Amino acid sequence: MDASYDLIVNSPGRINIIGEHTDYNNGFVLPTAIDKKIQFKFRKNNSDKNCLVKSVDFDTQFSFDLLEISKSETQWENYILGVVYEIQQLTSNLKGFDCVFKSEIPIGSGISSSAALECGLAFGLNELFDLKLTKLQIVELSQRAEHNYVGTKCGIMDQYASVMSKEGHVILLDCQSLEATYVPMNIAPYKLLLLNTNVSHNLASGEYNTRRQQCESGVAIIQKKYPAVQSLRDVSMEMLSEFKLDLSTVVFDRCSYVVQEKERTLNAVEALKNNDLKELGALMYQTHDGLQHLYEVSCKELDFLVDFSKKYEQVLGARVMGGGFGGCSINLIHETAVAQFTAEVSKAYFEEFEIKLTAFEAMPCEGTSIEK
């Protein structure tokens, strides 16, 4: 550790086995942190209000005054400023600090570099200034930072997984109650292989918010007849089908996907507990199908990867992971097939799109923590 810094914090990216676009609909998700992280170094700088933050990856830094926090024109700075702003809504004990961070999480790839950034900063400042925030407060303030400063109306999954994960487990998170069940991830001799399309569609965050609005507009219409319905969590396919003529086709499809995904996630957890990996894989393929055709957040590169994987019986399931429109697919694959599949899919992908695929295995790891 650089002697001039007081504190080192590691904040991981995350995967999600299943339960996509369900968090902001009060459904279930099944994420875990992985062994790709942003590492932060912090120190107090003995000033009352001057702060300096540096991204090694972007090779740039900026300074700000704790008494004059406002949004920046530079988007990455808003992840930092948003967290500082939200901390200041909870405590007045922040003082001047310097922070430098370096990341190994691919950016905009559905592994949530954004939550790792927010949560690592919040976690480190909490430690450095002994702010006495709970882990759940760190999770929730980081989500608010992304809503209020960045403008992405994300659900709670990414921040929750980055902070709360436990090695060797996935988290079945009920996004309505925030009740978490840690499920052991015993899938040997299978592995989780991520394939990064290295495509990140810039539309993503705008489209993300549009999906959220479409779900809310569906709920608003259903509520007129069923006032108890607060979110798609409270809607079954049977109930939804009553509204087929009242909802636009697009809104009906969006809602159908979410209602089905809620069931699928619970079924996937049962399959995982029963070590029925064939069933788990089949559910992942179904999720991809829904994300491709009903929720429409896939793209041709991801569809290519998922279709290609279906030629291999050693791949039990695959799907787009994260917000979509690019980023990674997650594949449930037998360990003996990883090398050959990776080589063949990379070759085919390059021939089709002239883009290099990046492949890596992921395993469940501990959430945000201090480096000892």
Catalytic residues: 158
Q: How far is CA 332 from CA 187, 192, 285, in A?
A: 9, 5, 10
- Total site size for Mg ion, rule CB under 5 A: 2
What is the C-alpha separation between 199 and 325, in angstroms, rounded?
8
Binders in 296-355 for Mg ion, by CB under 5 A: none
Q: How far is CA 33 from CA 113, 135, 159, 171, 362, in A?
A: 11, 15, 10, 9, 9
Q: Please choose, out of 105-113, 221-229, 253-261, 270-278, the segment that lies near Mg ion by the rule CB under 5 A.
A: 105-113
325 binding ligand ADP? (CB under 6 A): no
55 binding ligand ADP? (CB under 6 A): yes
- Which residues, 6+ apart, have CB-to-CB distance to 29 below 8 Å? 16, 19, 20, 22, 23, 155, 157, 161, 171, 172, 173, 175, 265
Q: Within a 13 Å sphere around the CA of 73, how many CA atoms are in the beta-carbon half? A: 0
207 binding ligand ADP? (CB under 6 A): no
- State in angstroms the smallest separation of the CB of 158 from Mg ion: 6
- State in angstroms the smallest separation of the CB of 23 from ligand ADP: 14
Name which of 26 and 103 has its Cβ closer to ligand ADP: 103
Token pair of 146 as six digits: 């992304």
Cα angle 41, 144, 50 (rounded to 5 degrees) comes to 40
114 binding Mg ion? (CB under 5 A): yes
Token pair of 230 as six digits: 């607060």
Q: Please choose, out of 100-108, 280-288, 295-303, 354-362, the segment that lies near ligand ADP by the rule CB under 6 A.
A: 100-108
Residue type present at position 237: M
Exactly one of 11, 16, 109, 265 binds ligand ADP (CB under 6 A); which one? 109
Q: Choosing among ligand ADP, Mg ion, none, which partner's interface includes residue 117 (Cβ < 5 to 8 Å by kind)?
A: ligand ADP
Binders in 7-46 for ligand ADP, by CB under 6 A: none
Q: Choosing among Mg ion, ligand ADP, none, which partner's interface includes residue 103 (Cβ < 5 to 8 Å by kind)?
A: ligand ADP
11 beta partners: 38
Residues lying near ligand ADP in the complex (CB under 6 A): 55, 57-58, 75-76, 79, 103, 107-114, 117, 322
Residues lying near Mg ion in the complex (CB under 5 A): 112, 114
